[in-house]
Structure 1
Amino acid sequence: MTDLVTVTNAEGPVADVRINRPDKKNAVTLELLADLVAAGEALAHQSGLRAVVLSGADGNFSSGMDTSVFLKMAGQLDQIKDQMLNLPEGQIANDFQRPAQVWQDLGVPVIAAIEGVCFGAGIQIALAADFRIAAPDASLSILEAKWGLVPDMGISLSLPKLMPVDRAKALIMTGQVLSGTEALAEGLVTRVEDDPIEAAHAFADELAQKSPDAIRSAKTLADAIWAGDAAKGLKLEAQLQADLMGSPNQIETVMAQMQKRAPNYS
């Protein structure tokens, strides 16, 4: 694992996991996504762990996927789509979805502390946490519509538990940017606090004082009650995204964004 994701106090009781590309507003790369998965999988083996606080360095959670990743992927779309759709035996999430799935699979509560921007891939990672504490002036958006795409990083595991389908469709289709306060009203965040990281650690410390068996069982129970078919949802995400990637209208969306003009769709 590199320093793109830092983990402190991994042995518990409260671990701090931080996305660490502050010069890029914590935009994620494929390497960073792999490091998030590695961090989550390593924490799963810490017997003294009671809770995790997940945040971004220097005042931003994450601005989403780094545009350099899109440029790199454009030259190898067939390979990327194959990786998205054809998974190893027994695996239900692809490499883009696992950075969200790993926090849902972790047995202890995960609290995302959201400051600054939380866009696209960033919000899908945050949504995978059990709780989200946001600053009132944070900016959150399911931003993939901006690039002619759909969210495909595990949002099927989280969004159905949080909001009605009509509101979810509106956010996915428009890419609307919400403040932390507006996101609270929509159900995307658990609460707003002026200092989300401090509040997240205070909440994590509170949870750490409870019976660890009861807390783990509570997470398992709630997730089971609100669960859909995880494998089916993740597969549908990947298939729809693969169909969109590199299609004429998706390319036109990207070009229009880059050239700052209205798109001309076929």
Structure 2
Amino acid sequence: MSDSLHLTRNGPILEITLDRPKANAIDAKTSFAMGEAFLNFRDDPELRVAIITGGGEKFFSAGWDLKAAAEGEAPDADFGPGGFAGLTEIFDLDKPVIAAVNGYAFGGGFELALAADFIVCAENASFALPEAKLGIVPDSGGVLRLPKLLPPAIVNEMVMTGRRMSAEEALRWGIVNRVVSQGELMDSARELAQQLVNSAPLAIAALKEIYRTTSEMTVEEGYRYIRSGVLKHYPSVLHSEDALEGPQAFAEKRDPVWKGR
């Protein structure tokens, strides 16, 4: 694993800290290491939730390492099987990821956060996609994911002018889940992670699968699709041990013990 990444396992929760000098910028080597971490998280049955954050208190990530770019690394370089920052092109990850944004999330750093399922950010965090001002485009998900979250006028301003969005504005638009003080950031992310661990893993996987496959469908089309039997996780949930355990635990007034099957 790269020296730029620090991995910490807290039971079923994996914490990934990006810690590189000069703004936690990401080059191809670091991106490969991040991809390895996220793919290992995906495939490890003992891990349930991942938290990605940046080292320090100023930068979550400034995105693509422009020093590496100046030295010849191309915008379309191979950034690994998970895409840029290791997460932006993993489309079969049925476990939740929380981005704990501790500071500036610019360019690919913002795209990394957008690829997560939840964003918890510090009050000093801000978000921007300044690629057009550098002669490139935010094609690691920014230009695809942001229009699903914001009105076209706001998206156009952000991607074409690179204007910054504060943490509070991001909260008003519903891009982030929580805004907390810098000192409370990781505790808040861990609290959310534990809430996710308390939910049944098969149900979480089914929800992510349904979101992913039906997002462009009408409600009627979505109903028909999820009942057609083509999904992997939804049918499994209906006939799982966990589907029996949940009501049983409720009736017995105890916490459920999930088996993931």
TM-score of the two chains, using structure 1 as the length reference: 0.73
**Which residue number corresponds to residue 68 of structure 1?**
67
User: Is contact 2:52–2:97 with CA below 8 Å preserved after alignment?
Assistant: yes
**Which residue number corresponds to residue 35 of structure 1?**
33
Moved over 4 A (4+): none
Letter in 1 for 2:55: A
Task: Pick the aligned partner of 2:185 from 187, 196, 218.
Answer: 196
Letter in 2 for 1:108: K
Q: Which has the higher contact order (CA 8 A, sep 6+)?
A: 1
**Which residue number corresponds to residue 214 of structure 1?**
203
Letter in 1 for 2:2: T
In the TM superposition, what is the alpha-carbon distance from 1:158 to its structure 2 partner?
2.5
RMSD: 2.5
Q: Hey, what's the Cα distance between the residues in 1 that align with 2:52 and 2:216?
A: 22
More helix by share: 1
Q: Hey, what's the Cα distance between the residues in 1 that align with 2:125 and 2:93?
A: 26
Letter in 2 for 1:125: L
Unaligned runs of 5+ in 1: 85-90, 229-266
**Which residue number corresponds to residue 8 of structure 1?**
8
Summarize the alignment of residues 32-111 of structure 1 with structure 2, pairs less than 5 Å apart. 32-59=30-57, 60-73=59-72, 81=76, 95-96=83-84, 99-102=87-90, 104-111=91-98
User: Is contact 1:55–1:113 with CA below 8 Å preserved after alignment?
Assistant: yes
Summarize the alignment of residues 240-255 of structure 1 with structure 2, pairs less than 5 Å apart. none
Seq. identity, % = 33
User: Is contact 1:135–1:193 with CA below 8 Å preserved after alignment?
Assistant: yes
In the TM superposition, what is the alpha-carbon distance from 1:98 to its structure 2 partner?
5.2
Letter in 1 for 2:62: S
Task: Pick the aligned partner of 2:120 from 133, 155, 162.
Answer: 133
In the TM superposition, what is the alpha-carbon distance from 1:95 to its structure 2 partner?
4.4
In the TM superposition, what is the alpha-carbon distance from 1:53 to its structure 2 partner?
0.8
Aligned residues: 214
In the TM superposition, what is the alpha-carbon distance from 1:114 to its structure 2 partner?
0.6
Corresponding residue SS for 1:7: strand
In the TM superposition, what is the alpha-carbon distance from 1:176 to its structure 2 partner?
0.7
